[in-house]
Amino acid sequence: MRAAGFVAVLLLLCLPLNAAAGFTETLPKSTWMLDVFYFISVVEDKWNKDGELVPLIEEMVRHEPGAGKQGILKPAAHAELQILGFLVQYGITDTWSLGFGLPIMVVAEVDPRFGWEEGDYQWNLGRSYTESDFWEWAGSMGQPKPGAWRGNEWTPGDIQVGTRWRFTDGFTSFRRAGWAMALTGLVVIPTGTQPEPEDVVTSGTTSWDLHSNGDLGLHFGVDKFFPDKLDSRLVLGVDLFHEVFLPKTYESPTGEKNPLMLTYAPYTGKHYTIDGGDWTGASFQVDVVPIRGPALGTWLVKGDATKAEALPPLVTLSFRYTFIQLQQSDWDSESDVWDYEREEEWKPGYKNMLWGQATLSLLRLGVPLMPYVNYRNLTWLPSKCARAPNVYGMGTRVLLKFW
C-alpha cells in the first residue's frame, strides 16, 4: 500500500486571511501585509475507521504463492514535511481584504521502517521466513526493499486565493455591542505536484495530497470583543465553514519499480479518480492579550501616540479548537473491488484539532514586524479516518503601506 496517501497535513490554509487574531480581521485600506512562515509537519500515526490511533501504513500480510503465510510486514513509517510559505494580503477597503498564498515544499522525507513478524513454517526451508528471507524472495521476483524516500525539494504547492468581507461595520448596534461578522471565500489554483505513481513511499504537494484544505471554501466568522469590561484583552471567535474537494485523476502504477507491492494498472486501468469528500466544520478560538505594550508616537503613526493605541498589542496568545466532519471518499477505476478497498479505509470520519499561537507585535514600538510561533496537534484528541500530525511553525508578518 502506498504511503503517498498517509503523508501529513501541514497547515490549514483554508483560512488564508486569518493571519491576525480573530476570524473577522481585515487590513486597513491600501495596506499590504507579507506573511512568511516555515512549518515542519511530523506524522507517524493515523486514526482508523474505529477511532484508534494506529501506524501510518497498515500491516501487509504476505503469503507464499499457493502455500502458507510467509509473515507480516509491519511498517513503522515516519514522515516529515518542511514547508516555506508566502502569504500576501491587501486591504481594498477597511472591511474587505484580498489574499494570495503559495506554499513551497522545501523537502519531504518518508521512511517506511519495515519490521517483520514471522509466519507459517515453510517445509522447503525447514523454518519460518525471516525478514531477510522474505526480501531475498521478493528480490527474486523483482521487488526491492523500499527504503527511505526524499523528494519534492523546493516544489510549489497549490496557490491559494482568498477574500474576506466584514459586513457588520455599517451597523452601529453591532459595533456598540462588540460583535463583528465576516465572510471568507477560498479558491485553489492547482499548481501543486502529484506523487510519483511508481514509488511505494512518496508525497505530493497538492491540497488533497497534503489534506490541508478543499478546492473551494466558504467561511462564516463571528468575533466577540470586550472593549469595556475586559479592556479589549479578550476576543472570542467562532468560524463555520464548508470545503469542497473536486475529483482528482491519478496515473495508476504499473509495477515498473515495485511489481509485488505497487501494480494497480492491470486492475484499475491507466488512471483512477479520487473524490475526497467535502469537509464541514467549526472552529472556536480564544485570543488573550497578556501584554498590551506602550503606545509610542513613532514614524508609523506620524508621531501621534493616540493612533498607536489602535495598533495590535505587544503580545497575543491564541488558542483554537477545530472540528471537521469528513465525508465519504469516492474512488473510481475499472476495478470495483480495488475502489471498495480504498473507500473502506477512508470512510466518513472527523478531525479534532488543537492549535496555539504566540504573536509578538512590534508595531507599537515603531517596527512593522509581527513574528510568531505556533503548534498544531491531531493526536491528543480522538479522530476518525484521518492522519495525526504534529505541526511546528514559525514566521513573521511585515506590514507595508506605500501611499
Residue 403 has pLDDT above 90, yes or no: no
Across the range 352-368, mean pLDDT stands at: 96
Run of H or E residues at 210: helix 207-210
Q: Tell me, what's the pLDDT at 6?
A: 28
Number of domains the chain is built from: 1
Q: Where do we find the cell 512568511?
A: 36
Question: Can you give the pTM of this predicted structure?
Answer: 0.90
Q: Tell me, what's the pLDDT at 5?
A: 32
Which of 2-6, 56-60, 247-251 has the weakest average pLDDT?
A: 2-6
Percent of the chain with pLDDT over 90: 79
Q: Tell me, what's the pLDDT at 210?
A: 83
Task: Kindly report each contact of residues 289-297 with a partner whose C-beta sits within 8 Å and lies 24 or more positions away, as own/partner.
Answer: 289/232, 289/233, 289/234, 289/313, 289/315, 289/316, 289/317, 290/233, 290/315, 290/317, 291/315, 292/233, 293/361, 293/364, 293/365, 294/364, 294/365, 295/364, 296/364, 296/365, 296/366
For 188-197, write each residue's pLDDT tens digit: 999 999 999 9
Residue 39 has pLDDT above 80, yes or no: yes
For 311-351, write each residue's pLDDT tens digit: 899 999 999 999 999 999 999 999 999 999 999 888 999 99
Bridge partners, residue 61, by sequence: 72
Contact 200, 146 (CB under 8 A): yes
- Tell me the average pLDDT of the chain: 90
CATH of the domain at 195: 2.40.160.40
CA distance 327 to 278: 5
Look at residues 181, 192, 151, 164 and name the one whose alpha carbon lies nearest to residue 100: 164
Q: Tell me, what's the pLDDT at 65?
A: 75
User: b/e per residue, 172-199, with b = 16+ CB within 10 A?
Assistant: eeeeeebebbbebebebeeebbbbbbbb
For 133-189, write each residue's pLDDT tens digit: 999 989 999 999 999 999 999 999 999 999 999 999 999 999 899 999 999 999 999
Q: Which amino acid is at 189?
A: I
Residue 208 has pLDDT above 80, yes or no: yes
Between 279 and 402, residue with greater pLDDT: 279
Query: CA distances (Å), 101 to each of 11, 18, 32, 157, 238, in order?
Result: 12, 12, 13, 10, 23
Expressed as residue numbers, the domain containing 27 is 4-400
Number of other residues whose CB lies within 10 A of the CB of residue 139: 12
Which of 51-65, 84-98, 333-347 has the weakest average pLDDT?
A: 51-65
Q: Tell me, what's the pLDDT at 18?
A: 38
Q: Tell me, what's the pLDDT at 8?
A: 27
Q: What's the pLDDT band for 21 if we cut at 50, 70, 90?
A: low
Residue 11 has pLDDT above 70, yes or no: no
Across the range 265-290, mean pLDDT stands at: 96
Q: Tell me, what's the pLDDT at 41?
A: 95
Contact 283, 238 (CB under 8 A): yes
Q: Where do we find the cell 466577540?
A: 224
Q: Where do we find the cell 501543486?
A: 192
Between 18 and 70, residue with greater pLDDT: 70
Q: What's the pLDDT band for 209 if we cut at 50, 70, 90?
A: confident
Q: Give 348's DSSP letter.
A: S
Q: What's the pLDDT band for 57 if we cut at 50, 70, 90?
A: confident
Sequence-separated (6 or more) residues with CB below 8 Å from residue 235: 21, 22, 223, 224, 225, 226, 285, 286, 287
Look at residues 156, 168, 151 and name the one whose alpha carbon lies nearest to residue 224: 168
Q: Tell me, what's the pLDDT at 300?
A: 87
Give percent helix, percent strand, percent coil of the chain, each to the nearest 5. 10, 50, 40
Contact 352, 323 (CB under 8 A): yes
Residue 20 has pLDDT above 50, yes or no: no
Sequence-separated (6 or more) residues with CB below 8 Å from residue 66: none
User: b/e per residue, 281-310, with b = 16+ CB within 10 A?
Assistant: bebebebebeebbebbebebbeeeeeebee
Helix (H, G, I), strand (E, B) or coil at 201: coil
Contact 194, 144 (CB under 8 A): no
Q: What's the pLDDT band for 19 if we cut at 50, 70, 90?
A: very low
